[in-house]
Amino acid sequence: MGEQSSRSYLPIVAAILIAGALISASLLIAVGGASKASTKTSDVTITGTSTLTQSATNQTVDTAPPVQNFGSQYFEPPSGILIPANTLIWTNFQLNETTNAFVGASIVLFPFPDAAGVNVTVAVYVNGLLNVNSTTPLLNHDYGINSSLIPSANSSNSIFALTGLIPTVGMGTQTGSAVSLNNGTTITIAVSSDRSIWLAGWSQIDVSKGTGPQFGRSTGQLAGTYEASETGTFLPPNLLPHATTTLTFELQISGALSQ
């Protein structure tokens, strides 16, 4: 009787062992695939799609679509620059990618009380041609800024090191459809407003302290922040204008390519 019972369990034990081996193999394949699908170079992270298939249920679970970040979105900027009304300011990126992707970007400003209600436009240019722009008003809200930390807008020096804890507000835009990007395509992130605003970033003193995005330079970012006055409007033109001024300042830009 005992021998017959132990034999009757053998197929069940074998089935469990086989199922366990199959699941272990599937997990090993999934983990290996995930490690190959994620590549990190400096501050640029490309996260691929990882698929986990369970042989017992034939269910497939996908992660988020690939995203490549650019800019300096992970670091708190130490300085601010005063940008006059109806003035376009921009910086350029060249990403070594050949892909079709949505391009999104945002900038960061300091919500000083006198900026309440200002309309801020963020635009994306691809090889000098305007692709998309979005205008967002700064809400009239008490952001709790100590008035002693507010720089004077009448100062001849438009770049200030901002000490103390000062809240920032981000505004951005994203292309409505995927953009065809070839290796060497120039992506320009531009900002303009109908009143003067303080944008966050890094002064030349900040930049001289080191390399990398924490000092205002990220992978793919081309040197130079440019400025051009607009006539009668703060909205960005269809063609990127010729710069009238090269600023000694690097803007904080948060950008992403997504599929």
Mean pLDDT of the chain: 74
61's enclosing H/E stretch is: strand 59-62
User: Highest-confidence range of 140-154, 164-178, 186-200, 211-225, by mean pLDDT?
Assistant: 186-200
Q: Is 73 left (phi over 0), alpha (psi -120 to 50) or beta?
A: alpha
* DSSP class of 126: E
Tell me what the mean pLDDT of segment 124-148 comes to. 90
Distance (Å, whole) CA 160 – CA 24: 58
Q: Is the pLDDT of residue 186 over 60?
A: yes
Q: Which of 147, 239, 135 is nearest to 191 (CA)?
A: 135
Q: What contacts 203, CB < 8 A, 6 or more positions away?
A: 78, 79, 81, 159, 161, 248, 249
14 CB neighbour count, 10 Å cutoff: 10
Give the model's pLDDT for residue 73.
Answer: 67
- Alpha-helical (H) ranges within 84-196 are none
Structure tokens at 237: 């033109």
126 CB neighbour count, 10 Å cutoff: 18
Structure tokens at 169: 């507000």
pTM over 0.75: no
Per-residue model confidence as pLDDT tens digits over 212-254: 777 776 767 787 899 999 877 888 999 999 999 999 898 988 8
Least confident of 11-25, 160-174, 202-216: 11-25
Give the model's pLDDT for residue 31.
Answer: 30
